[in-house]
Chains A and B, each alone.
Chain A
Amino acid sequence: MAHQDTLNGAEILLKALVDQGVEVIFGYPGGAVLPIYDEMFKQNRLRHILVRHEQAAVHAAEGYARSTGKVGCVLVTSGPGATNTVTGLTDALMDSIPLVCITGQVPTSLIGNDAFQEADITGITRPCTKHNYLVKDVNNLAKTIHEAFHVARSGRPGPVLVDLPKDVVQSKGEYQPPSRVKSKYKPQVKGDLKAIEKAVDMIAKAKRPIVYVGGGVINSGPAACQLLTQFVRMTGFPCTQTLMGLGAFPGSDPLSLGMLGMHGTFEANLAMHGCDLMINVGARFDDRVTGRVNAFAPYSKKIHIDIDPSSINKNVLVDLSVVGDAAHILEDLIKVWKARQVRMDDKALKAWWSEIEGWRSRNCLHFETSNKIIKPQYALQRLYELTKHKNPYITTEVGQHQMWAAQHFKFEQPNHWMTSGGLGTMGYGLPAAMGVQTAHPDALVIDISGESSFQMNLQEMATLCQHRLPVKVFILNNQYMGMVRQWQELIHGGRYSESHMHTHPDFVKLADAFGAVGLRAESPGEVDDLIKEMIAVDRPVIADLRTDASENCFPMIMPGMAHNEMVLGPEDRSLDKPGSEEDGMVLV
């Protein structure tokens, strides 16, 4: 072993990662990172999961991070290895997921020469990382790695990239432990008490309140979720969650209205529309949620709790903002509330709830059942019923299946639901599930998938088999890019331009080819058996469920429409009113 102050760069890197609590690295080797892989060969404190494509390494690290609350870690080579991470990094940036991605780089003397496998990855990823670094001196390496982890996990989390030229990892230098590194980056976590007092004033006066919960509460951690739950139960307010916020509040609690937004529930969207006070905790007024902004919650005062000042007044102007960490602010909010012994207007609240119960009784997630063809919603309901006792971790791809999963699963805890919300990356779910299973080897991990999305990263089946990660891929195979087909049916006159793939692999044989288990169900009667078998096998599974190709996902707020203009189903007359694409929700 080399002497303490004469470690080489690769040793310094691995030591820094261990000191940062890293247990698993998702990666793929290549020339520029061979010295690092060589050092990795000589140790056993860091586990390496060898993916089949670098994009998958990043999604796997995202799944790992989201299911543990820790920072995910990625290692790839220069040039193509690095550029392959761009989609994953952008995905992590949009969804505020903490990651550190280490990329190899050509030696410093060759940078700028169009050297073999050179890519200006700090330039390329500047807009899709929270921050990035190019390390030019081995003596700055340890410090930079520690700072990268600090930046990734502090404030609003996000991906950080560290680019390491080959000569830097090969030269000798000094290691610095995390305790010796002081970062200047210190985002505000405590909320302004005066603003919190004011929030309590506003809450006390509310007659038709709603709590609108986002991914920021999950980012903040389980303590924030508990405090949020305490706050909601204490006030008795209705609580709706964004796609990213599912699990922050127990989904089966009667105070929960489920998801809001484009494919949210009737009761959540109408309560948002009719509320007189909206309390936004860690959500960012995304256009999938607001619908047409000038018709968004028109009668409401709005309170916004968020750690990132740039989220405030970005899309929607609010009446009161409290900047800081959700857990800190909720704790203070509850304290002030209790100290003041606030009395709510119980009568008004009761009337508000009876209105909401009226909307809820419409049972907006109802669907026509069939005993001939598998309805996707039915398959998901059965999956939920047959697995909930195992408290499964669910990831998804992107499309109709993702929305049905969000509607029909109820999440009682945070960190059990991993989906690509902001970027909507098809191909996210399988590698993300891989990362989740790595962190929770004994848990049931299911990727709810579509047959098109699955094919974007299906090479990772090999990774699952190699590393004995028994992920279950539950494909709702409707033979279509269903979400695209739905938009074409409803908005583009039924012209199904390139949304049908005429050829799919035989997924059961495909599973076999990888050494996984393939299962298929073609009629509703086979669904339960398939699910039970899928859970029973201790190996990766591809389950191919042939579902109704023509099913559409409802409720739906059409592009350019408001919360009170939801379409509830195919028989709904408001479907005839064409949407406008001027304002929000224009993309599939």
Chain B
Amino acid sequence: MTHIAEAIERHTIAVLVDNEAGVLARVIGLFSGRGYNIESLTVAEVDNREQLSRITIVTTGTKMIVEQIKNQLRRLVPVHKVSDLTIEGAHVSRELALVKVASTGEKRVEALRIADIFRANVIDATNESFVFEVVGATDKVDAFIRLMEPLGLADVSRTGVVAIARGPAAL
């Protein structure tokens, strides 16, 4: 069984941690120190009473590496739960992006029309710019940004992925 499965997989991992100083540095340090990939990482407090934060990490690696990543995360003392959403049943994931488009004339009209198709909201407007708020799965956000490129794309800010399992079960 020494054969190593080499195929690279993408996994979304949810991590429940104590919301204490340094915990994010521990997680990020683990990834950089051991040479793991981070495609996206988000973090925020989710339980004020117990002072717990939830980190969502999108990472890539071979099966063996992804298993290592989860076990290494579990080893950190302030980590309470690690769940691989990609393999533990269905899950939903979303990202929010703020997309600034600076243009006039026909391009400006076209940008608005595409925003409408993507159900993006205009949350700031001037005579020569819009800021759109777009929410969706990563590929939808990617597509929106790509379409804005020829239309005066000026600036992008993305939250990274948040994800949760479908159905009644909790982390």
User: Least Cβ distance of A206 to chain B in Å?
Assistant: 16
Q: Is the CB of A296 within 8 A of B2?
A: yes
| Complex Cα gap A156–B75 (Å) | 9
Tell me the B62-95 residues at the A interface (CB within 8 Å): 64, 67-68, 71-72, 74-78, 80
| In the assembled complex, B143 has its CB within 8 A of some CB on chain A | no
Q: Is the CB of B29 within 8 A of A314?
A: no
| Complex Cα gap A293–B77 (Å) | 31
| Complex Cα gap A294–B3 (Å) | 8
**Hey, which chain A residues are within 8 Å of B78, CB to CB?**
131
| In the assembled complex, A358 has its CB within 8 A of some CB on chain B | no
**Hey, which chain B residues are within 8 Å of A302, CB to CB?**
1
Q: When the two chains form the complex, which single residue of A123, A294, A308, A310 contacts B25, counting CB atoms closer than 8 Å? A: A123
- What is the interface size of chain B, counting residues whose CB is below 8 A from a CB of the partner? 22
Tell me the B13-67 residues at the A interface (CB within 8 Å): 18, 21-22, 25-26, 29, 33, 64, 67
| Complex Cα gap A156–B22 (Å) | 22
Q: Is the CB of B2 within 8 A of A130?
A: no
**Hey, which chain A residues are within 8 Å of B25, CB to CB?**
123, 126
Q: Is the CB of A122 within 8 A of B68?
A: no
**Hey, which chain B residues are within 8 Å of A127, CB to CB?**
29, 33
Q: Annotate A494-528 by CB proximity to B: 1 below 8 A, 0 otherwise.
A: 00000000000000000000000000000000000
Stretch from A168-176, A315-323, A331-339 contacting the other chain: A315-323
Instruction: Report the contact-size class of chain A (Cβ under 8 Å from the partner).
Output: 20 to 34
Q: When the two chains form the complex, which single residue of A134, A308, A312, A314 contacts B21, counting CB atoms closer than 8 Å? A: A134
**Hey, which chain A residues are within 8 Å of B29, CB to CB?**
126-127
| Complex Cα gap A388–B26 (Å) | 46
Q: When the two chains form the complex, which single residue of A309, A314, A318 contacts B74, counting CB atoms closer than 8 Å? A: A309
Q: A128: nearest residue on chain B (CB-CB)? A: B33
Q: A319: nearest residue on chain B (CB-CB)? A: B1
| In the assembled complex, A313 has its CB within 8 A of some CB on chain B | yes
Q: Is the CB of B4 within 8 A of A310?
A: no
Q: Is the CB of B26 within 8 A of A317?
A: no
Q: Annotate A283-310 by CB proximity to B: 1 below 8 A, 0 otherwise.
A: 0000000000110111001100000111
The 9 closest A-B pairs by CB, nearest first: A310-B71, A131-B77, A309-B71, A317-B1, A310-B72, A127-B33, A310-B75, A185-B77, A126-B29
**Hey, which chain A residues are within 8 Å of B2, CB to CB?**
293-294, 296-298, 316-317
Q: How many residue-residue contacts, CB under 8 A, span A and B?
A: 51
**Hey, which chain A residues are within 8 Å of B1, CB to CB?**
301-302, 317-319
| Complex Cα gap A316–B25 (Å) | 29
User: Least Cβ distance of A139 to chain B in Å?
Assistant: 16
27 contacts between A and B (CB under 8 A): A122-B22, A126-B25, A126-B29, A127-B29, A130-B77, A131-B77, A131-B78, A134-B21, A134-B22, A151-B77, A156-B75, A184-B18, A294-B2, A297-B2, A298-B2, A301-B1, A308-B71, A308-B75, A309-B74, A310-B71, A310-B72, A310-B74, A313-B67, A314-B64, A317-B2, A317-B64, A319-B1
| Complex Cα gap A314–B65 (Å) | 8
Q: A317: nearest residue on chain B (CB-CB)? A: B1
User: Least Cβ distance of B146 to chain A in Å?
Assistant: 38
User: Least Cβ distance of A404 to chain B in Å?
Assistant: 31
A151-B77, A184-B18 given; name 13 further pairs at CB < 8 Å: A123-B25, A126-B29, A127-B29, A130-B77, A131-B77, A131-B78, A294-B2, A309-B71, A310-B71, A310-B74, A314-B68, A317-B64, A319-B1
Q: When the two chains form the complex, which single residue of A123, A151, A312, A319 contacts B71, counting CB atoms closer than 8 Å? A: A312
| Complex Cα gap A301–B2 (Å) | 10
**Hey, which chain B residues are within 8 Å of A297, CB to CB?**
2
**Hey, which chain B residues are within 8 Å of A184, CB to CB?**
18, 80
**Hey, which chain A residues are within 8 Å of B75, CB to CB?**
156, 308-310
Most buried by A among B4, B21, B26, B75: B75
| Complex Cα gap A296–B1 (Å) | 10
Q: A314: nearest residue on chain B (CB-CB)? A: B68
User: Least Cβ distance of A507 to chain B in Å?
Assistant: 40
**Hey, which chain A residues are within 8 Å of B18, CB to CB?**
184
User: Least Cβ distance of B119 to chain A in Å?
Assistant: 42
Tell me the A130-182 residues at the B interface (CB within 8 Å): 130-131, 134, 151, 156
Q: B71: nearest residue on chain A (CB-CB)? A: A310
**Hey, which chain B residues are within 8 Å of A131, CB to CB?**
76-78
Q: Annotate A390-434 by CB proximity to B: 1 below 8 A, 0 otherwise.
A: 000000000000000000000000000000000000000000000
User: Least Cβ distance of B24 to chain A in Å?
Assistant: 11
| Complex Cα gap A314–B64 (Å) | 7
| Complex Cα gap A131–B78 (Å) | 9
| Complex Cα gap A184–B77 (Å) | 9
| Complex Cα gap A319–B36 (Å) | 25
Tell me the B131-154 residues at the A interface (CB within 8 Å): none
Q: A160: nearest residue on chain B (CB-CB)? A: B77
User: Least Cβ distance of A389 to chain B in Å?
Assistant: 43
